[in-house]
A = this chain, B = another copy of it.
Amino acid sequence: MKAPAELTAKFRASGLKVTPQRQLLFRLMHENKSHPTADSLFSVASVHMPGISLRTVYQTLTDLSSMGELRLIDVGSGATRFDPNIDDHHHLVCQSCGDVRDVYVSGSGQLDVNELDGFSVDTTTILFHGLCTPCRATQEVSSTVAEPLVGISKSNTSSKNTTNPKERMS
């Protein structure tokens, strides 16, 4: 994603107005490596500009991605995450805390794919699911009883939606 000043120019060149809300979001997203959700970005934005609406955050993020300044990432955690890094890169997703980190992969173009027959590939998305260092440390301590492999556990142990991205913003 371009720097705030450049985005300002780009927006005006496109006939879009540059509002205080948009400027704030430009600043909050610039070089933001946390892959925030709209809601977590809204929380942070609200501190700087009380009264800003979640609707406006969604709107601006959508606008930025329409202009190719932002990438939308779906790591399967429910909410879409927004990424100002538009380089060709992939993601590491912590299954415990939900953290998302950039990872640069070489050789993804040379993946041997069988039976493509006719399907033309445009983009490739790779997600590495695992544990980040802090979470791995925690896991080692409390790993006494293993989860049964078969049997229906009605208690949901997955980390889906248990993480609060609001507390992981830069």
A122 touches B131 (CB 8 A): yes
| B-contact 0/1 string along A130-146, CB 8 Å cutoff | 11110010000000000
Which A32-54 residues sit within 8 Å CB-CB of chain B?
A: none
A interface, over-half SS: mixed
Chain B residues in 8 Å Cβ range of A114: 103-106
> Does A28 touch B at the CB level, under 8 Å?
no
Task: Choose among B16, B117, B124, B136 the residue that contacts A118 (Cβ–Cβ < 8 A).
Answer: B136
Q: Contacts A76-B74, A126-B111 hold; do A133 and B118 have CB atoms under 8 A apart?
A: yes
Bound together, the chains give a CA A117 to CA B122 distance in angstroms of 30
A131 touches B127 (CB 8 A): no
CB distance from A44 to the nearest CB of B (A): 24
Bound together, the chains give a CA A137 to CA B97 distance in angstroms of 43
| B-contact 0/1 string along A115-126, CB 8 Å cutoff | 111111111111
